[in-house]
Amino acid sequence: MIRVECPLCKYKMPLFFEETAECSGVMVSCKGRNCHARFELRIKNGKQIK
Ligand SMILES: [Zn+2]
């Protein structure tokens, strides 16, 4: 399982995906301290696009 990472602060989110995952259009709020980014989670070929 691969962990979702915030593209701004690199915080590792409590959110995981499999190598077979494909995803777009999913909005995630970063839980990192001092980072209130909301980013679109995009996964292609089992990798998060940052
Ligand atoms: Zn962040």
pLDDT digits (tens, 9 = 90+) for 6-28: 999 999 999 999 999 999 999 99
CA–centroid distance, 15 to ligand 1, in Å, is 13
Burial of 24 (0-12, 13-18, 19+ CB in 10 A): exposed
Residue 48: per-residue pLDDT: 98
Residue 47: per-residue pLDDT: 96
Which tokens is 3 given?
A: 């962990």
Whole-prediction pTM: 0.87
| Domain of residue 43, residue span | 2-48
CA–centroid distance, 8 to ligand 1, in Å, is 5
CA–centroid distance, 41 to ligand 1, in Å, is 12
Residue 4: per-residue pLDDT: 97
Contact 46, 2 (CB under 8 A): yes
Residue 7: per-residue pLDDT: 96
- When divided into structural domains, the chain yields a total of 1
